[in-house]
Amino acid sequence: QVQLVESGGGLVQPGGSLGLSCAASGFIFSIYPMRWYRQAPGKGRELVASIRSDGSSTNYAGSVKGRFTISKNNAKNSVYLQMNSLKPEDTAVYYCNVVIGRDYWGQGTQVTVSS
């Protein structure tokens, strides 16, 4: 079955960096685009970044463009989100996502940006 497991969240000061990882299993990872979403307290889930199946193209929400980088390693069945210049408004639970007939989600990883 499809499984997505995020890791790498934590507490970081404003201006700092964090790298998130998502390990995927149960499907042919190399043929699917992947996405990172986030959900802040009291808000809906927001698409942060997406990447094509072969990693050749990426897209970002305007709020993170230039600060976040999504990447995909098909040999390791993993997708990553490098987050730099973090702001308090980046505080959220971050989720890895793949669509295979329907949405599949990981359990999420908490990112807290605070001094």
CA separation for the pair 10, 112 (Å, rounded):
6
Those residues of the chain that have pLDDT short of 50 are none
pLDDT tens column, 17-48: 999 999 999 999 999 999 999 999 999 999 99
Q: What is the dihedral of CA 63, 66, 67, 69, to 10 degrees?
A: 110
Tokens 């072969």 belong to 54
pLDDT of the residue at 83: 98
